[in-house]
Structure formats: C-alpha cells, structure tokens
Structure 1
Amino acid sequence: MANTTNKQTSAGVTTDTTHFGFEEVSVNDKKNRVRGVFESVASKYDIMNDLMSGGIHRLWKASLIDWVNPQPGEAHLDVAGGTGDIAMRIIDRVGRDKAGPVTVCDLTPDMMLVGRDRTIDQGILKGLSWTCGNAENLPFPSRSMDSYTIAFGLRNVTHIDRALAEAKRVLKPGGRFFCLEFSQVVLPILDQIYDQYSFKILPNMGQLVTNDRESYQYLAESIRRFPPQDDLISMMNSAGFEHCSYRNHTGGVAAIHCGWRI
C-alpha cells in the first residue's frame, strides 16, 4: 500500500500526495516533515515514551525481544531505530561479548546522536553501528541480515510496501521481519478511552514536556492512519513474507507482526 494519490495542480501538473497525520502533503515533503518531528523531540523522546505509555512500552519491547530471540553471532538490523533502545535490548539479551553485529538505521541523525552518546556512557563500544538511511531504500547488501526489527517506525514511512520489500531484500533466507507498532484497539470501551487519551491528553503532554504539541498531535493522527492488524498481514504476504502472524498487546493498542523470508 503506497498511501499516495495523484493530484493535479492549478497549472495542470500532476503531483503525488500522501498523508502526514490527517494532513495531505506532497510525497517529497513528507520525509522532511517526519525528520523534523523527530529532530524536535529527540532529546526528550525516551522520557515521553515512558510518560505517554505509563511505562507499558517497555513490556511491549520485552515481548518483541522474546519473539526475536536473538542468538550469538547473528546480524540484526533495527530500522527507524532512533536512540537505539531495541538494539541495546538485543545486545543485552545475547550478551555484550557474544552479540553479532547490530545495526541501527534511522532517518534522523539527531535521534542517533542521543543513542550513540548513551551507549558510549554505558560502555557499549563494539558490535553496534549507526547508519543514517531511509526504510524505503536501505543502504545494506541483499541477504545480509538475520533479523529486521522496526518499532514504532513503519507508520511514518511514505510507501509501506516499499519498506516491506526492502526488509525482505536485506534478510537472509530464513531471516525474520518484526514490526512493533501501535495498532487497532480490539476491546470495546478501551477504544473509546484510547481515542480520548490520544487526541486530548497526549498532545498536551507533548507541549508540557517537549514544548511541541504538534509532533504529538501528528503521532496520534499517524496511528489512526496505520493499517489494522490483518491488513498489515496482507501487505507482508504481498511483499513475499511467509508464515506471517501477529500478537496483540494491551487490547490491540500495540501489535507485533512477524514474517519469514524463505
């Protein structure tokens, strides 16, 4: 699903447009606006994750790592890896002296700088690398990775189908794709509470903590534009992944999807 449409300007020129939250923007503009969101919140990003989820995101990420089950010597790629939270969890799970090459790839250098400084402070000096790149055009060789993770990043991609195709390309045969993302709430009542929280409380929290209401308004809107669980499974199948499945967490507030590259 490209999430794009063709729009003719007053001058008769046809341009591709896509969504940025609930706003319609040009395809060329979206990447810069997404980068701007994360540049704005980089220094407070991890604090806001704890605040806006009540710490529950840590349980979701722990479940992700359990499913990945990283092994010594495996090559792991974490796309939209930001400050390196998932990458560091992989390294800690395997052991710092046993972890294979773990690569963080992100569109926003400011996010990776925060993560790089943190890993240096924690003494993680080997086995972890940082690469600036776009999920739709990854700067890595084909069939080079044992696993691919993307946590809370796929909804920010303009062409999800291209990102999925790239994920399959860089995975070795037998490699697995994992996506942890906000998804569609499946429990009655909780969906109403979640809507109220997302659009009334979350942007105000963003204003208070990061002095940036707009970025967290975008976050709430981008979640609503993201494909529901079964739709994402269909997109993964179309990209060539096999044995695709997902697990809901917190009533579908978040979901983890997994697919195999055979």
Structure 2
Amino acid sequence: CKALGPEVQKASRMIEVLRESDLSTPPEVLLRIADRLDLWAGAAAVRAADPELAREARNIQESFARTSTAVRKLRASLILNGRNPKKAGAARAGLERELDKDAKVVRSIAGRCKSNPYEPIKGKAHIPPHVVRRVVQENFGAMRACYEKGVRANPKLEGRIPVHLVVDGQGKVTYAGDADHPPADAPLLIALPSPGAAAPSSSAPPLRDPKVVGCVLDVFRGLRFPSPADRKSVATVVYPVVFGVDDNRSSATSSR
C-alpha cells in the first residue's frame, strides 16, 4: 500500500483536474496534461508483493495511458470542431467515461489500503499573478546572473523557461521544475489556469542550456511567497521566465 500511495495520488489528481476542465479549456493545456499522463504511464511499474495490489498498480498505469488518449482525442476535437459543441461534446463524454473507470480503480485501492487518496490535494490556494510577478521580479537579479554565465559560453543563448512551482501553506516552494521537461515523479504537476489569470504567452523558443535552467530553478526553490489565510492550502504556479528575447515581460498562471 505504501508503494502505491504516490500512484494513487497522481490518479486522484488526474481525475480532479480533468473533472474541473470543460470545453473552454485551451487545447495547449490539454496537451500538457496528456504529456504528463504519458510520462506517468511510461514510468517503471510499482512492485507489490500482494498479487491483487500488483494488479491494481498495473490498472493505474493503464488508466494513465487510456485517459491520455481520451484527452488527446478531446483536444483534437476542440481544434477541429471548436464551434460545434455537439461534436466536441461527444469527445468530452468519452473522457468522462474514462474518468469514471479511473475513479473506480482509485476507490478499489483506497478501500483495500484504508486510505484517503484525496487528502494530499485538499485545500488549494490561489496566488494572484501580480503577487507571483512581484516576488519573481524582486529576485530576478539572481536569475539574470544564471543567464549571464550561460551567455559567456554561448553569446547567442536566449529562450524561455516555463517554471512550474508548488508552494506550501507557509509560502515555501516545495517543488520547482521545467514544465516542458518534468520528471515522471514530479508532484501534482498538472493544473488548469485559474479564472482571470492570463495564460503564459511568448514567442520565445525554449532555453536549451541545462546548467542555466538548473541555476534558475535553484533560485526559484529559495523564493518565499505570502502565506494563504489558512496556512494549509497548496498552490501550483506556472511562471515563464524569458531571457534575451522580450525583456521577460511574461505573465503568471496559478492554479486554484
């Protein structure tokens, strides 16, 4: 049961986020979620001594793969039939059927292990985009220093780093990673944009220097944000940092 815990948390997060999505969810957001599910589906299988739990572990990985396919079908339908709610609605119904199957798998494991897989993701905070921008800009000098080291080795270096953060109830960054290249075990790293938050947009290409990216992420790991009122909620934030292209005039997206 302990080994299955992280997988069940991922599955419950997947169900929660996709239940919150609708036909207005941007196709690029659905693509990021599908890519994340593919990473989870392709990760090494969890080993369980109990044959039934081993079967449940396989069921979870299969649910990631099935749901990714359904999300991609919905995305394609929205692109092709965005102005035809009936056709897009059929694809959405297909996704809902997969989510029903996923929820059944989660309930089965939760019942056997006597645990609540949804507990880790209760209490979601929202950090306003202007607050994220302020905290980042106050610390941008250290990020700029990372970039300048890279420029000395490659004068043509430029690009965008979509930084994905998880911020705890005390305002501490508990995870910072490249949203375009997340590890398979990245925590709860799928989210929908918050209502009213501008989606990150930039024509800048990805910044392709692992040392610079790692250095910038280290700066983000040391940031502190204002604590939510209850000091218990957790926020997921996406902030694209741009170097050498458009003067870092980027917006932030924060999940509820």
Same fold (TM over 0.5): no
TM-score (norm. length: structure 1):
0.25
Structure with the larger RCO, 1 or 2 (CA within 8 Å, 6+ apart): 2
